Structure 1
Amino acid sequence: MTVAEIYLDSLKKRLLGYKVLAEKTFAQLNDEQLHWQPAGEPNNIYIIVKHMSGNMLSRFTDFLTSDGEKPWRERDAEFTDDQPTGTKAAMLEIWEKGWDCLMATLNSLQEGDLAKTIYIRTEPHSVMDALNRQLAHYPYHIGQILYLGKIMKQENWESLSIPKGGSQQFNQEKASGK
């Protein structure tokens, strides 16, 4: 494998790993909880999903040939809950649409593409830098999704990693090949 192939494989693995964490959170929540907002009007999970999908569609549609901030994107509208009684299934359609666009683009990239220059809001980025920018952006929002889920589920939260107090047992199981 070339360094570019190793990088792209690693990038896809990391992004899909974060996607799974968000989806495991969605699975623990009902439709109403996806629209719950704590005091102070922070974003709810539906809004975060809508924003992430809008970002993915804008950044990765014609990724190598047009500015990543598309004229058709309505970013400000992404931060409103226009479906306050919307279902999880409807939200997941929005979610998958963004991820499908992102992954199709990543799967199409070739080694020579990584050093090309693309633009985001007219600012030049190497393709690799633009990808790293998104690798920082999406996990940031997925962390928000997990945090909101954990707040809502409280003691009923099913840990998505090593549960509190479980590090030693986890490490022993890993060491024994389990």
Structure 2
Amino acid sequence: MNFQENYLSNVIFEFHRYKTMGDKTFAQLTDDDILWTYSDTDNSIAIIVKHMVGNMLSRWTNFLTEDGEKPWRNREMEFEAPYTTKNEMLDAWEKGWKCLFDALKKMKTLNFDAKIKIRKEEHTLVEAVNRQLAHYASHVGQLVFIGKMIKGTQWKSLSIPKGASETFNKKMFGEDKI
């Protein structure tokens, strides 16, 4: 496998990993939960998802041929009027990720020297994709953290639960590796 194939395979894997973390967070939440904020100046889960979806649709629509900041995007509106139901939010979430994964599928045979523009700033393909991966990872981390705050002791861990590292390592490596 050459660098380009390896990179795209890994990036697709990582984007799926972050989408799955969001999915598993949302599975634990109610309609009311997605609107919760710690304070009046904070963003709810519904607002963060609205922003992510707006970004995804803007960045990944015609990724290789148009600037990633589309004239039809209204970023400021992404932080107002959140989705009011979990189903509405999930439909938008899926639409954003579909746009992203469809764009990534098209890149498999493309020239990695292509210049990708975001707000008129040129990026290599790798730089543009890494920029989005980092952006979404930070927001998914916010979604998970807010979900944990909302659920408290009822939160179901998305990774190795606190206090369970030794048990996990024994399962993964066997008794003789611990």
- Equivalent in the alignment of 1:50: 50
- Equivalent in the alignment of 1:94: 92
Equivalent pairs, count:
175
TM-score by structure 1 length? 0.95
CA distance, structure 1, for counterparts of residue 153 and residue 79 of structure 2: 29
| Structure 1, gaps ≥5 residues long | none
Alpha-carbon RMSD across the aligned residues, in angstroms, is 1.3
- Equivalent in the alignment of 2:121: 123
CA distance, structure 1, for counterparts of residue 65 and residue 100 of structure 2: 15
| Structure 2, gaps ≥5 residues long | none
- Equivalent in the alignment of 2:16: 16
8 Å contact from structure 2 (residues 8, 108) kept in 1: no
CA distance, structure 2, for counterparts of residue 35 and residue 144 of structure 1: 14
CA 1:82–1:171: 2 relative to 1, 3 Å: closer
What per-residue deviation string (whole Å, max 9, x for no partner) do you get for residues 97-121 of structure 1? 1100000000110344322101100
Q: Counterpart of 1:34 in structure 2: which amino acid?
A: I
What per-residue deviation string (whole Å, max 9, x for no partner) do you get for residues 90-149 of structure 1? 110110111000000001103443221011000010111000001100010000000000
* Aligned counterparts, 1:1-178, within 5 A: 1-83=1-83, 86-176=84-174
3-state secondary structure, aligned to 2:27: helix
> Percent identity, aligned pairs only?
48
TM-score by structure 2 length? 0.95
What per-residue deviation string (whole Å, max 9, x for no partner) do you get for residues 127-176 of structure 1? 11000001100010000000000001011111111111110110000013
